[in-house]
Amino acid sequence: MSVQPFEPTVTVGNIALSFHRAAAAVTRRVLEAHGHRVNSVEAPHEQMFRLQEDGDVDVLVSAWLPSSHGTYLSHYRDRVRVLTPHYRPYCVWAVPPHVPAEAVREVADLARPEVAERMTTAIRGINPGAGISRFSARIVAEYGLDRLGYSFTPGTETDFVARVEQGIADQEWFVVPLWRPQYLNRLHGLRALEEPKGLLGTVDDASPVISWEALDRIHPDAVARLDGLALGNDGVEEIDALINVDGLTPLQAADRFLTAHPELLAAVSGHTASVSPRGPVSGDE
């Protein structure tokens, strides 16, 4: 059947990183498939959670719980519904495939003299509010890497990606604070290091968070579909690669992914929704 707007516009917010844009684009298409108009906003980690806490974001995609973002959500946890996770992310430290596994297999190996002599000791990360950035600063200190000249510096996603690309091109020995899902994993075959101290947090649940107020305005079938949407780490990385490698916009990437996986927009609760591949409402790409 044709879809008519159900209620006023829903604001979807995502953290300002490409893989969060990937997941948010799918969320937007689900909402549009159930008749909603969608506004999209993005911000750094802590700011995005503050925007939802202040009532400026209806659906936050996504909170990594409990390790990475639990502290940000805790301020207003009683005013939101946390949905079933869309994927299960985790943080790692990784090295490029040209660094031999027999030389560097775990984080502690970075302190071996013959390794420290070859490794680039300046470690670049993303913005300081990210869980991986907090964890990485702690690792440098707790493994005593700072005493060997290693340092961790947070930065922009653009600088972070450029640093990885340059290191790969130069066949450099370097370590990168990374996570799944992230398209660089599949693009470059980066190898995760063992970290037995558990300083990189747990495997998190990446869940959309909907404010209780917004639940009264969002079609219940849209909520049900979002609550059962299983993208997986591989799915998010696939969309992320379409954005960063193939040059698609997040919405174009989501549309291509959903065309290949139509079951993700299948009917729920006995209802159906028929929409064009681009959804019922056009918007900024």
Strand order in the sheet with 80-82: 38-43, 10-15, 59-65, 205-211, 80-82
CATH of 90-192, one of 3.90.45.10, 3.40.190.100, 1.20.1250.20, 3.40.50.2300: 3.40.190.100
Q: Hey, do 10-88+204-265 and 90-192 end up sharing a CATH topology, with the first three levels equal?
A: yes
pLDDT recorded at residue 218: 96
* 283 Cβ contact list (under 8 Å, min separation 6): 28, 37, 38, 40, 251
pLDDT recorded at residue 203: 94
* CB neighbour class for 5 (10 Å; exposed up to 12, middle 13-18, buried from 19): middle
pLDDT recorded at residue 284: 34
pLDDT recorded at residue 151: 97
Task: Please report, for the chain, the start and end positions of each structural domain, with discontinuous segments joined by +.
Answer: 10-88+204-265, 90-192
pLDDT recorded at residue 4: 47
Q: What is the pLDDT along the chain (285 residues), one digit of tens a residue?
A: 344 445 579 999 999 999 999 999 999 999 999 999 999 999 999 999 999 999 999 999 999 999 999 999 999 999 999 999 999 999 999 999 999 999 999 999 999 999 999 999 999 999 998 999 999 999 999 999 999 999 999 999 999 999 999 999 999 999 999 999 999 988 999 999 999 999 999 999 999 999 999 999 999 999 999 999 999 999 999 999 999 999 999 999 999 999 999 888 765 444 333 333 223 222 333
The CATH superfamily label for domain 10-88+204-265 reads: Periplasmic binding protein-like II (3.40.190.10)
The whole-angstrom separation of Cα 133 and Cα 66 is 16
DSSP per-residue codes, 58-126: SEEEEEEETTTTHHHHTTTGGGEEEPPPSB--EEEEEE-TTS-TTT-SBGGGGGSHHHHTTS--EEE-S
pLDDT recorded at residue 268: 46
Q: pTM, whole model, 2 decimals?
A: 0.85
For the record, the structure tokens of 219 come out as 């079609």
* 118 phi and psi angles, rounded to 5 deg: -95, -25
* 141 Cβ contact list (under 8 Å, min separation 6): none
pLDDT recorded at residue 8: 79
